[in-house]
Amino acid sequence: MQRLKSCLLKLAPTYGWAALFVIIAVNCVVYYGSRIFTRSMYHYNLTSRIDEIIPFVPAFIMVYIVVAYLQWGFGYFLSAREDEKTVAFIFLSEIAAKLLCLLIFFLIPTTMIRAEINGTGVFERLVGLVYLSDSPDNLLPSIHCLESYLLWRTMSLLKRAPAWYKKITPVISLLVFISVLLVKQHVIVDIVGAIAVTEIGMLFAKMMLSLFHKSKMNKCMTTIE
């Protein structure tokens, strides 16, 4: 056990692992827990004319279920290895954005009509499994896009991240945006909502940390006096 703890601490500091645990717990509560209360509520379909024109491309399911999760796992792990101030900002932004998502899930429950799967290829089967395991609700904002956009917005803060990661993150994030539309898991307004809650979450985190540091500074000054 001690050896495992030592290995984990070499990968990331204790506060980093704690932050990772907290955001996973918050995500589960927000995305899955909210359904207990919203299941019986009326759900709005926000599909636009443009969404109806966008084609169904099953191959993009690989971006949706493989590329996206790899990006999140690696990106948040790299974020957890940073200094306390950076970790606090990134993960507080994530939590604030997710809690705002929870509020929107309650206020505007959404749904959509998914694509009709006609083929029997590997990609079509994977899309079918996703449809079967994930009900078409809690769509606005898109959690997929929220995660990828936050990593995109905060990548410049990472001092220990490799240069290639910072170069490919915008590309991967855009691919994730495209994938949620092409596999018919989300509509355009869900992406806009994800960007909006992320920006609000980052603003909230910046304000909270600024107040915290100001309060800490005032305490130090009082002690000195």
Each residue's pLDDT tens digit, 77-105: 999 999 999 999 999 999 999 999 999 99
pLDDT, one tens digit per residue, over 69-78 is 999 999 999 9
- pTM: predicted TM-score of the whole model, two decimal places: 0.92
CB 34 within 8 A of CB 106: yes
Look up residue 100 and give its two tokens.
Answer: 């705002």
Residue 221, pLDDT > 60, answer no
Is the CB of residue 81 less than 8 Å from the CB of residue 12?
A: yes
**In this structure, what DSSP letter does residue 110 have?**
E
pLDDT band at residue 6 under the 50/70/90 scheme:
confident
Residue 1: per-residue pLDDT: 67
CA dihedral of residues 141, 142, 146, 147 (deg, nearest 10): 150
The DSSP secondary-structure symbol of 33 reads I
pLDDT exceeds 70 at position 115: yes
The residue among 96, 104, 68 whose CA lies nearest residue 179 is: 68
Residue 90's CB is within 10 A of a number of other CB atoms, namely 27
Indicate the average pLDDT of the chain: 92
What per-residue confidence (pLDDT) applies to 69? 97
